[in-house]
Amino acid sequence: MKIGLEVHVALPTDSKLFCSCKAYSEEPNSSICPICMGLPGSKPMLNEKALMLGVSIAKALGCKVPEKISFSRKVYFYPDLPKSYQITQVDAPVGHSGTLEADGVSIGIRRIQLEEDPAKIIREEEYTLLDFNRSGVPLVEIVTEPDIKSEAILRAFLTELKSILYYLGVDINKEFKADLNISVAEQRVEIKNITGTKNIIDAAKYEIERQNKLVSANQKVPSETRSYNEAKMITVPSREKESDEEYGFIYDPDLSEYSTASIKAKKAVFASRIAKEYASKYKANAQTLAELVLFNRDALEMIERWKEKYEMKALIGSIELLEKYGIMDINERAMARLLDMVSKGSYPDKETLMKIYGGEEVEAKQIDIKLIDKEISEYIKRNPRIVEEYRKNPKAINFMVGEITKKYKVHPRIISERLNLIFAGK
User: Residue type at 320?
Assistant: E
Shortest distance in whole angstroms from residue 51 CB to Zn ion: 17
19 binds Zn ion (CB under 5 A): yes
DSSP labels, 371-393: HHHHHHHHHHHH-TTHHHHHHH-
Q: Which is nearer to Zn ion, 42 or 70 (CB)?
A: 42
- Footprint of Zn ion on 209-248 (CB under 5 A): none
23 binds Zn ion (CB under 5 A): no
**CA pair distance 322, 245, nearest whole angstrom:** 53
50 binds Zn ion (CB under 5 A): no
Q: Which is nearer to Zn ion, 36 or 172 (CB)?
A: 36
Residue 152's H or E segment, with its range, is: helix 151-167
Q: Which is nearer to Zn ion, 50 or 410 (CB)?
A: 50
Shortest distance in whole angstroms from residue 47 CB to Zn ion: 11
**CA pair distance 35, 386, nearest whole angstrom:** 63
Shortest distance in whole angstroms from residue 2 CB to Zn ion: 40
Among residues 3, 11, 17, 21, the one that binds Zn ion under rule CB under 5 A: 21
Q: Total number of residues binding Zn ion (CB under 5 A)? A: 5
Q: Which is nearer to Zn ion, 119 or 335 (CB)?
A: 119
Among residues 36, 184, 194, 404, the one that binds Zn ion under rule CB under 5 A: 36
How large is the angle between the packed helices 286-293 and 312-324, nearest 10 degrees? 40
Q: Which is nearer to Zn ion, 254 or 301 (CB)?
A: 254
**CA pair distance 29, 120, nearest whole angstrom:** 10
**CA pair distance 205, 211, nearest whole angstrom:** 10
Burial class (CB in 10 A: 0-12, 13-18, 19+), 346: buried
Contact window for Zn ion (CB under 5 A) among 22-30, 33-41, 164-172, 243-251: 33-41
137 binds Zn ion (CB under 5 A): no
Contact window for Zn ion (CB under 5 A) among 13-21, 47-55, 93-101, 149-157: 13-21
Shortest distance in whole angstroms from residue 115 CB to Zn ion: 16
Q: Which is nearer to Zn ion, 136 or 412 (CB)?
A: 136
Q: Which is nearer to Zn ion, 23 or 290 (CB)?
A: 23
Q: Which of 182, 235, 141 is nearest to 3 (CA)?
A: 182
Provide the total of helices (H) and of strands (E) in the chain, helices listed first.
Answer: 13, 15
Q: 51 and 114 in contact (C-beta within 8 Å)? A: yes
- Cα radius of gyration rounded to whole Å, the chain: 26
Residue 5's H or E segment, with its range, is: strand 2-10
33 binds Zn ion (CB under 5 A): yes
| Interface ranges with Zn ion (CB under 5 A) | 19, 21, 33, 35-36
